[in-house]
Structure formats: structure tokens, C-alpha cells
């Protein structure tokens, strides 16, 4: 067979991993497509990452995020997003989960309206995880996905499966297994590119997508880059312009000041925004890492009801509904607790209360972490949202100022909270290094975003100096080192996920916490070890 001219002239993607078993995904045509995406969009991605660094330098020097002066007309003028497809009109409950075969089938069968297949916060991006995920999603789209467990239980997708929405990695992550002319590709483009190359036409033919969640955006230009990537892909695959739909997560502090702008950049394909609360809290910590007057209390005290998070979620609802887009809620961290009825009911009650707050505030739908939580969330939304959505709830009463978005709530850092951050970060990092991106710890869902909160808080509490527990004992590195050693010892001897990677995780957590600068993402140095 003749080698296409473009491969001869420009080269294609080089795979730096054992690709046996993935020939059906890594076809020459798919790799050429990825290479074209890389050549066209990588320079812009690099510029946008540089812009992030420059903005952060401004915040570190004392500056604070603000609404952008240059885009006031976008916020003030009247416009709406393009019509939303029928398949996404009712998104009252969305289940999320990693792209693992059994979980995909369970999620599609869960009764949720939407399944967000996650290459991001709940995935450790090993080559096998990402590529198996692509194989699994291709089979799901083609209706051929099936699975038999080691115990012999067989899994198949039933009638009326959830609508598939895919979340690729964020712009900050590269993929060391995919190179073009010696440069690593963007993880985002690998995930997006392989998925659309193999599934876009089939999904479009069935009025089912392709639909995406876009994570960790920090500026409208980053949304515009996604729009350009999707428009170029639509052209290449001969799909109608705007047929790929996107829901952007507002899960960084800078993005909260650009909600209108992000929807505007995506307006021919935006269907909504989502309150990604966990990354949002992490981003608050990271963006304001140099501001000693804006330290947050321990994780457990930073609930969605605290003023700065309430303001953010209400601003999101108001913004979305003014633009005809859905305002999606987020994820409560509680998961079902087996074998303890009272504890389980208490966990479900917390999920129920969170969903009640969301639906009453005007959200159009919400996320759950586990199939058993679908009926819990659905009952609340069914009761308070009889229509498919709440686009008519304009929330014109909401007035959110810059200072409200930036105000740290009152609270404390307790010994238990400090110790829990060490334990969670250590155990999550160890599991991640072992290829697991989402794990239950003390009956809470922990993923890359929740672990980042723990890590960033430890760094801040230790580097701002002079912080004390309520009993006036100092919060210092000796305590931290001791806690890391104790939890590493315990993890090593346990049957928890990642036990075999306890020492590697401890080394990483120690290095990142002792470092003078708060590292941008835990997953960047951790990725070198995957
Ligand atoms: C901040 C954010 O980004 S939130 C979004 C990212 N996070 C997520 O998506 C969370 C996804 N959830 C999960 O990964 C899991 O629910 C965990 C890790 C939290 C808990 O996992 P486990 O303790 O293994 O759950 P558990 O043992 O109760 O699972 C029971 C069954 O439900 C299935 N299940 C659990 N969670 C999910 C899910 N999210 N999607 C589909 N199936 C699921 C399991 O596969 C299992 O199936 P089986 O009975 O057929 O074997
Ligand atoms: O992605 C969701 C989040 O809360 O972070
Ligand atoms: Mg997130």
C-alpha cells in the first residue's frame, strides 16, 4: 500500500509504548489525524500555558483575579448559545466514572440521563488506561461492548442507556507516549482526537454527539482553542459546523470571572457550564497561594454553602440561563457505605441535601459518583424540577462581586484535618502511580481534584508560617514529616490500592510539600513515574 504523501513529508505520530493490541485504534489514518491536530494547535496551546504562567506571576506578586475590562461588551450584550440537541435537553442526573470496561457498562445502565466518561480527574493516564478506554468507548458507541467478570458475571448494555459525554484531559497535560517530530502531544488532543476519529460519524448518525466536557479552563482563549479544534475536526470529518457539543467546567478561579466569555467563545456548540467544585477549591488555593490573608480552613469545612462557593455557583446559574445554556451542578464526595446501615443513610442524606441545594438554586442537573446515588439525586430533581430543565429560572436576583468570589471563609485547621490531608494525598498518589485514578478513602470519593486540595493546603499551611491548631500547637514540617512516615508505613502494610507504591508516593508528596513553590499539578511530576 502506498504511504500517504503527508506522512512522507511531515511525519506522523510516534508511539513510545507497547502498542500491541491497539492496532484498531492506532491506525495509520488515526495517527495522521492526531499529527495534523498537533501541528495545527500545539503552538497555541503552548502560548496559552505561557499566559497562565504570566497571570500566576501577577497573582503571586499580590494581584487578584478580576472581571476582564476588554470583554465587558460580551458580558453586557444579549446573545445566546446555539440550540441544544434533544439528547441533552434533560440532564438531571449525570453519572461520571473512569473509562474502565465494566464501569462504562454499569454507568450506561445506571438510569442516569448522561454518562460522563472520564479521561481526566478519575483516570491515571497510563498508556493502557487511555487506550483501553478508547477501545471500550468505541465498542460502547458501536453497541458491541460486553464484559465477563472473573467470577463469571456478564455485563451488557440494556435498553435506554445514558447519553455519552466524554471528558478529555486538560490543556496542561502532555502525553509522553504520543510524539510528533520529537515533541510530546497534548493529552487533550490524544483523547479527543482518537475518540472523534473513531466515533464521531457513528454518534452523529444516531443523534448522540459527539459531546464533550471541557476541564480546567482558565481563560476564554482556552475555550476558543477547543472551539477551533472542534471546528477543524468537523470540517475534516464533514460534520455540520457546531455539531460537536461542549459543556465547560468552571473549575478554576480565573474562569469564574469569565463565564460569559467562555460560553461566548463556544457559543456555536456550548450547551452549558458545570460547577466543578473540587478543582475550583484547588484552583482557589493555587491561584491565591501567595496571599496569606486568603488561606482556607481544612477541606471538610469548605462546603458548597460557604459564601465564596455559593456566590460562584449562583453566578454560574445566572450566567448560563441568561445565555440559554444549562447550569450543571457538581459532585458530592459521599459514596454508599456497605455493611453499616446508619452510616450509609447518613452519607446518602448528605448527597440528598447537596442535590436539594442545587435544584433549589436553579441548577439543571447534577453529578453522581456511583450508580446507587442515581435514584437519590433523581428523586430530588424529579420533585423540584418537573420540567426537563430550569432554563426559565433566570436568577436575576443574584449579584456577585469580585470580593465575594475571592473571600476566604472563616474556619480552622485541626490536627485531624491536617492528618487527613496527608493520608488522602499519600494514598491517592500511591493509587494513581499504580494506575488507579479514583479510589474510596474513608467512604469518600477521592480523585485528582480532591487530592490536589489536600496537597495544596498542606503546602500553604506549612509555607505561610506561624499557623497553629486551635490548641495553639504549631503546624510545622516536623509534624508533616512524621505524619508522612506514619501513613506510609501503614499504607505499605495495608491492602489499600497503591500499597506497593507507598514509598514513591511519600517521596513525591514530601518533595512537593517541602518545595519553595507550590507545584502547579501533582499529576505533572507523578506522570514521569507512570
Ligand atoms: C472531581 C471530579 O472530577 S468528580 C468526577 C470524577 N470522579 C468519578 O467519576 C467518581 C467515579 N466513581 C468511582 O470511581 C467509584 O464509585 C469509587 C472509586 C468512588 C468507589 O468505587 P468502589 O468502592 O469500587 O464502588 P463499589 O464497590 O460500591 O461498586 C459497586 C458497583 O458499582 C460500580 N460502580 C461504582 N462506581 C461507578 C461509576 N461511577 N460508574 C459505573 N459503575 C460504578 C462498580 O463497578 C461495581 O459494579 P459491580 O457490582 O458490577 O461489580
Ligand atoms: O471535575 C470536577 C471537579 O469538581 O473538579
Ligand atoms: Mg475537576
The pLDDT assigned to 279 comes to 98
- CA–centroid distance, 452 to ligand 3, in Å, is 10
Question: Which residue among 368, 383, 404 closes a domain?
Answer: 404
Do residue 220 and residue 325 come from a single domain? yes
Helices (H), 179-330: 187-205, 220-237, 253-256, 259-265, 277-287, 307-322
Residue 88 DSSP code = G
Domain range for residue 515?
Answer: 412-527
Q: What is the pLDDT of residues 358-412, one digit of tens each?
A: 999 999 999 999 999 999 999 999 999 999 999 999 999 999 999 999 999 999 9
pLDDT at 447 over 60: yes
Which residues does residue 273 pair with via DSSP β-bridges, in sequence order?
A: 248, 327
Contact between 448 and 169 (Cβ < 8 Å): no
Average pLDDT, the chain: 96
- CA–centroid distance, 351 to ligand 3, in Å, is 18
Residue bearing the bigger pLDDT, 6 or 343: 343
Q: Active site includes 490?
A: no
pLDDT at 282 over 70: yes
CA separation for the pair 325, 315 (Å, rounded)? 13
Q: Is residue 116 part of a domain?
A: yes
Q: What is the pLDDT of residues 9-37, one digit of tens each?
A: 566 999 999 999 999 999 999 999 999 99
Q: Which atom of ligand 1 is nearest to the CA of 445?
A: 19
Do residue 266 and residue 322 come from a single domain? yes
The residue whose CA has the least distance to atom 3 of ligand 2 is: 276
Q: Is residue 95 part of a domain?
A: yes
Give SS3 for 313: helix
CA separation for the pair 519, 286 (Å, rounded)? 9
Question: Which residue among 387, 404, 421 closes a domain?
Answer: 404
With the most atoms of ligand 2 within 8 angstroms of its CB, the residue from 123, 217, 273, 279 to mutate is 279
Q: Which atom of ligand 1 is nearest to the CA of 277?
A: 1
Q: What is the pLDDT of residues 74-83, one digit of tens each?
A: 999 999 999 9
pLDDT at 6 over 90: no
Q: Residue range 417-445: average pLDDT?
A: 98
Q: Is residue 15 part of a domain?
A: no
Pick the catalytic residue from 277, 447, 455, 501: 447
- CA–centroid distance, 318 to ligand 1, in Å, is 31
The residue whose CA has the least distance to atom 46 of ligand 1 is: 103
Contact between 260 and 274 (Cβ < 8 Å): no
Q: Residue range 304-332: average pLDDT?
A: 98
One-character DSSP codes across 461-521? HHHS---B-TT--B--HHHHHHHHHHHHHHHHTS-STTGGGHHHHHHHHHHHHHSSS--S-
Number of C-beta neighbours around residue 44 at 10 A: 16
pLDDT at 4 over 80: no
pLDDT at 2 over 60: no
Q: Active site includes 447?
A: yes
Do residue 271 and residue 338 come from a single domain? yes
- CA–centroid distance, 346 to ligand 2, in Å, is 23
Do residue 422 and residue 356 come from a single domain? no
Closest to 94 (Cα-Cα) out of 264, 211, 203, 201: 211
Which residues does residue 275 pair with via DSSP β-bridges, in sequence order?
A: 250
pLDDT at 8 over 70: no
> Residue 14: which H helix or E strand, with range?
strand 13-15
With the most atoms of ligand 1 within 8 angstroms of its CB, the residue from 98, 103, 450 to mutate is 103
CA separation for the pair 230, 116 (Å, rounded)? 18
The residue whose CA has the least distance to atom 1 of ligand 2 is: 276
- CA–centroid distance, 216 to ligand 2, in Å, is 8
Degrees, nearest 5: CA angle 134-138-144: 135
Q: Which atom of ligand 1 is nearest to the CA of 115?
A: 40
pTM (two decimals):
0.97
- CA–centroid distance, 27 to ligand 1, in Å, is 31
With the most atoms of ligand 2 within 8 angstroms of its CB, the residue from 165, 217, 249 to mutate is 249
Question: Which residue among 354, 373, 404 closes a domain?
Answer: 404
Q: Is residue 20 part of a domain?
A: no
Cβ-based burial of 200 (10 A; exposed 0-12, middle 13-18, buried ≥19) = buried
CA separation for the pair 369, 66 (Å, rounded)? 33
Q: Is residue 3 part of a domain?
A: no
Q: Which atom of ligand 2 is nearest to the CA of 449?
A: 5
Do residue 431 and residue 492 come from a single domain? yes
- CA–centroid distance, 170 to ligand 3, in Å, is 9
Give SS3 for 1: coil
Pick the catalytic residue from 45, 167, 323, 395: 167
Do residue 383 and residue 429 come from a single domain? no
Contact between 250 and 216 (Cβ < 8 Å): no
Closest to 190 (Cα-Cα) out of 27, 28, 38, 18: 38
The pLDDT assigned to 1 comes to 45
Residues with CB under 6 A from ligand 1: 95-98, 102-103, 106-107, 118, 121-122, 278, 331, 335-336, 369-371, 438-440, 445, 447, 449
CATH number of the domain residue 109 falls in: 3.20.20.360
Q: Is residue 344 part of a domain?
A: yes
**How would residue 348 be classed by pLDDT, with cut points 50, 70 and 90?**
very high
- Could you give the number of structural domains in the chain? 2
- CA–centroid distance, 279 to ligand 2, in Å, is 5
Do residue 120 and residue 245 come from a single domain? yes
Q: Which atom of ligand 1 is nearest to the CA of 149?
A: 51
Q: What order do you get walking across the sheet with 174-180 strand by strand?
A: 13-15, 174-180, 183-186
CB under 8 Å to 526, separation ≥6 — which residues?
Answer: 429, 432, 433, 508
Q: Are strands 13-15 and 174-180 parallel, antiparallel or unpaired?
A: antiparallel
**Omega within 30 of 0 (cis) for the link into 210:** yes
Q: Residue range 490-512: average pLDDT?
A: 98
Q: Residue range 490-515: average pLDDT?
A: 98
CA distances from 469 to 79, 135, 326, 412 (A): 50, 49, 42, 7
The pLDDT assigned to 205 comes to 84
Q: Residue range 235-240: average pLDDT?
A: 96
The pLDDT assigned to 206 comes to 86
Do residue 249 and residue 141 come from a single domain? yes
With the most atoms of ligand 2 within 8 angstroms of its CB, the residue from 117, 165, 214, 276 to mutate is 276
Residues with CB under 6 A from ligand 2: 121, 249, 251, 276-279, 330-331, 449
Amino acid at each position: 500500500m502506498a504511504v500517504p504523501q503527508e506522512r512522507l513529508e511531515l511525519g506522523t505520530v510516534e508511539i513510545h509504548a507497547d502498542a500491541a493490541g491497539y492496532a484498531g485504534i492506532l491506525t495509520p489514518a488515526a495517527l495522521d489525524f492526531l499529527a495534523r491536530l498537533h501541528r495545527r494547535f500545539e503552538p497555541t496551546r503552548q502560548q496559552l500555558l505561557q499566559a497562565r504562567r504570566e497571570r500566576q506571576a501577577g497573582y503571586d506578586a499580590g494581584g487578584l483575579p478580576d472581571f476582564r475590562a476588554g470583554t465587558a461588551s460580551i458580558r453586557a450584550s444579549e446573545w445566546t448559545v446555539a440550540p441544544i440537541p434533544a439528547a441533552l435537553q434533560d440532564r438531571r442526573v449525570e453519572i461520571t466514572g473512569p473509562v474502565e470496561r465494566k464501569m462504562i457498562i454499569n454507568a450506561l445502565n445506571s438510569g442516569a440521563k448522561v454518562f460522563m466518561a472520564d479521561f481526566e480527574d478519575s483516570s491515571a493516564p497510563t498508556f493502557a488506561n487511555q487506550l483501553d478506554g478508547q477501545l471500550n468507548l468505541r465498542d460502547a458507541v458501536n453497541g458491541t461492548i460486553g464484559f465477563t467478570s472473573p467470577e463469571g458475571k456478564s455485563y451488557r448494555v440494556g435498553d435506554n442507556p445514558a447519553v455519552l459525554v466524554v471528558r478529555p484531559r486538560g490543556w496542561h497535560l502532555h502525553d509522553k507516549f504520543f510524539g510528533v517530530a520529537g515533541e510530546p502531544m497534548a493529552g487533550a488532543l490524544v483523547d479527543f482526537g482518537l475518540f472523534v476519529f473513531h466515533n464521531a460519524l457513528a454518534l452523529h448518525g444516531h443523534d448522540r454527539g459527539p459531546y464533550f466536557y471541557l476541564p480546567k479552563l482558565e481563560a476564554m482563549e482556552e475555550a476558543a482553542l477547543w472551539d477551533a479544534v472542534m471546528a477543524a475536526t468537523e470540517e475534516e470529518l464533514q460534520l455540520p459546523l457546531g455539531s460537536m457539543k461542549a459543556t465547560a467546567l468552571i473549575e478554576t478561579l480565573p474562569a469564574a470571572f469569565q463565564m460569559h466569555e467562555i460560553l461566548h467563545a463556544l457559543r456555536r456548540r456550548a450547551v452549558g457550564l458545570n460547577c466543578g467544585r473540587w478543582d475550583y477549591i484547588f484552583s482557589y488555593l493555587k491561584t491565591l497561594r501567595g496571599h496569606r490573608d486568603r488561606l482556607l480552613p481544612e477541606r471538610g469545612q469548605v462546603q458548597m454553602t460557604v459564601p465564596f462557593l455559593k456566590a460562584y455557583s449562583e453566578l454560574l446559574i445566572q450566567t448560563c440561563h441568561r445565555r440559554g445554556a444549562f447550569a450543571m451542578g457538581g459532585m458530592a464526595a459521599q459514596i454508599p457505605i456497605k455493611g453499616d446501615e446508619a452510616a450509609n443513610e447518613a452519607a446518602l442524606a448528605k448527597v440528598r441535601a447537596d442535590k436539594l441545594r442545587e435544584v433549589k438554586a436553579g441548577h439543571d442537573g447534577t453529578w453522581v459518583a456511583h450508580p446507587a446515588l442515581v435514584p437519590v439525586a433523581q428523586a430530588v430533581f424529579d420533585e423540584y424540577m418537573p420540567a426537563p430543565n430550569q432554563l426559565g429560572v433566570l436568577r436575576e436576583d443574584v449579584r456577585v462581586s469580585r470580593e465575594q468570589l475571592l473571600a476566604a471563609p472563616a474556619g480552622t485547621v485541626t490536627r485531624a484535618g491536617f492528618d487527613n490531608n496527608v493520608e488522602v494525598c499519600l494514598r491517592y498518589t500511591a493509587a494513581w502511580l499504580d494506575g488507579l485514578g479514583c479510589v474510596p478513602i474513608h467512604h469518600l470519593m477521592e480523585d485528582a481534584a480532591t487530592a490536589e486540595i489536600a496537597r495544596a493546603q498542606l503546602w500553604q499551611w506549612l509555607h505561610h508560617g506561624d499557623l497553629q491548631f486551635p490548641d495553639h500547637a504549631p503546624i510545622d514540617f516536623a509534624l508533616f514529616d512524621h505524619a508522612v512516615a506514619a501513613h506510609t508505613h501503614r499504607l505499605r502494610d495495608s491492602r489499600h490500592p497503591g500499597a506497593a507504591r507507598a514509598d514513591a508516593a511519600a517521596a513525591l508528596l514530601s518533595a512537593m510539600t517541602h518545595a519553595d513553590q507550590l507545584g502547579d499539578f501533582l499529576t505533572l511530576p507523578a506522570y514521569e513515574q507512570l
